[in-house]
Amino acid sequence: MAGFLSILKRTYLSIYNWTVFAGWAQVLYFAVKTLNESGYKHVYSAVEKPLLLAQTAAVLEIFHGLVGLVRSPVSATLPQISSRLYVAWGILYSFPEVRTHILVSSLVISWSITEIIRYSFFGLKETLGFTPSWLLWLRYSTFLVLYPSGITSEVGLTYFAMPYMKAAEKYSLRMPNKWNFSFDYFYAAILVLAIYVPGTPHLYRYMLSQRKKALSKAKKV
């Protein structure tokens, strides 16, 4: 029974990782193609559907961690996925005014390269039981550049969307109302940006420690 469950788990994770890998590969392909043919202002419209689908699929990774399908701690997975979903849905999808900004291109390319490497790494690990050393190195090294570029793009796009949040008052709730509760999306965005201040170096240090552990372990093998 335990053997069957192990096979079932590996099959599911293989399908999940390769499916999301295909989604991010599509995002990168459309982004590069559009940049080359039409320019950065058209990148979002070219990648919107696969971007939203691939990024939203990452919600399952929180579930994977909670039920023990993977060893990744939810405390590390949750903030990364939450911030990505916030930018994808709460900023880009919700405020079309920022979709033509050049930071969309740096965001999409940073995210897609990171995820193509990550999902292929775990896909091979679940499918074949091992990963080549070069992919291991990419998995634990490319974030040194792509994480700062991705974070800068996330923060920048949130900042540039804020005047439109304030003007439109989208997702805001004013008093009086039957719930006797008010919510301002503009000030929520300020709070999100404030969380990036301690959150970014914390996650970066965590990834550095994971890199050191993974690469030192690989040298011993």
Higher pLDDT, 7 or 158: 158
Arithmetic mean of pLDDT, 101-115: 98
Q: What are phi and psi of 104, to 5 degrees?
A: -60, -40
147 catalytic? Reply is yes
154 catalytic? Reply is yes
pLDDT band (50, 70, 90) for residue 220: low
Arithmetic mean of pLDDT, 58-76: 90
What is the full DSSP assignment across 5-32? HHHHHHHHHHHHHHHHHHHHHHHHHHHH
* Per-residue DSSP letter, 71: -
Nearest CA to 18 out of 121, 119, 138 is that of: 119
Choosing from 61, 115, 126, 154, which is the catalytic residue?
A: 154
- Alpha-carbon span 164 to 69, nearest angstrom: 41
Choosing from 40, 86, 147, 159, which is the catalytic residue?
A: 147
- Alpha-carbon span 85 to 24, nearest angstrom: 15
- Can you give the pLDDT at residue 73? 84
| pLDDT tens for each residue of 122-144 | 999 999 988 999 999 999 999 99
- Can you give the pLDDT at residue 1? 66
- Can you give the pLDDT at residue 152? 97
| pLDDT tens for each residue of 144-200 | 999 999 999 999 999 999 999 999 999 998 888 888 889 999 999 999 999 999 999
CB 77, CB 65: distance < 8 Å: yes
